[in-house]
Amino acid sequence: MIRQILVYFNTRKDESCAQTLRIVRFLKEQGVSVFMDQERRALHPDLENLTSPLDEERKGNMDLAVVLGGDGTMIRCGHFLQGTGVPLIGINLGTLGYLTEIDPSNPEETLLKAIRGQFRVENRLMLEGSIGDDPTLYTAINDFVIHRDLLDGILTIRCHIGGHFLTEFHADGVIVSSPGGSTAYNYSAGGPILDPVSDNMILTPLCSHAIVDRSIVLGGGEALSFYIDGFTKGNRALFMADGDRYVDIPAKTWIHVRKSRWNFPLAKVSERSFYEIVQMKMRP
């Protein structure tokens, strides 16, 4: 039985907090203790009255996180809870919603199953990356992207796999995607779709002028290294994590990417297969 739940919502998709309050009140009626970060609690007086503040020490004590929003909101909550092992379940207020399985028109039935513990957890592979000798560690649930400055021409990137030289890309950039992120930017760039629980990474060049101009599916244990060799016009590239965090990269810089020590724990109530979901989402 689930006793403590974090509720995390997209403040732009539920500006009035009406949908969030509906969920919070339902959870409270089931005898669940509801927690929320202080920034969101402060958006509505009823949220402050009905929820308890969540601090860093309590994060790992949550039994479940209920997320209202789209896939981007799920990813932000995943980073917020990173390392705690708390599973996330999403109510879809977005568009495609590969990560958010609950229909917002009638979420109570599915949530009741989740409260009773009637869900399985998919521990999906995450990525981690570093830049040069900087000890800062970046993580990604969907993908890392190395991209030219938009005012630049072509970016030259040398790619190594497991310490062995693969190729030199002359391209707009490259994507390194997790299996769960294969339906995101990777797919839009022509990359393959993978089972989200597979132990793999995908390397997809962006508008490449190299001989290797197609995606490569790698084992999850591989280590990727990229050397930013030069630019045609500008003086920097961008390193992006999950399309949300950006770092400027100068020339003659190494970027290293590998499988993270952390997983993204996604709670699943539905018995629908991933491929049924893909077929439904991509239906014209």
- Residue ranges covered by each domain of the chain: 4-119+269-281, 126-262
Amino acid at 49: N
Homologous superfamily of the 4-119+269-281 domain (CATH): Probable inorganic polyphosphate/atp-NAD kinase; domain 1 (3.40.50.10330)
What band does 242 get if pLDDT is binned at 50, 70 and 90? Answer: very high
Res 232: pLDDT: 78
Judge whether residue 221 has pLDDT over 70.
Answer: yes
Catalytic residues, by residue number, are: 71
152 pLDDT above the threshold of 80: no
Percent of the chain with pLDDT over 90: 81
Average pLDDT over every residue of 27-47: 97
Residue 206's DSSP bridge partners are: 173
User: Which pLDDT belongs to residue 271?
Assistant: 77
When pLDDT is averaged across residues 260-277 and rounded to a whole number, the result is: 88
Contact in structure between 127 and 221 (CB atoms under 8 Å): no
Q: What is the pLDDT of residues 47-78, one digit of tens each?
A: 999 999 998 889 999 999 999 999 999 999 99
> In which band, very low, low, confident or very high, does the pLDDT at 281 lie, cut at 50, 70 and 90?
low
Which helix (DSSP H) or strand (DSSP E) does residue 75 occupy? helix 71-80
* Rounded mean pLDDT, 80-88: 97
Confidence of residue 284 (pLDDT cuts 50, 70, 90): low
Is the pLDDT at 39 greater than 80? The verdict is yes
| Domain 126-262 architecture | Sandwich (2.60)
More confident of the two residues 230 and 141: 141
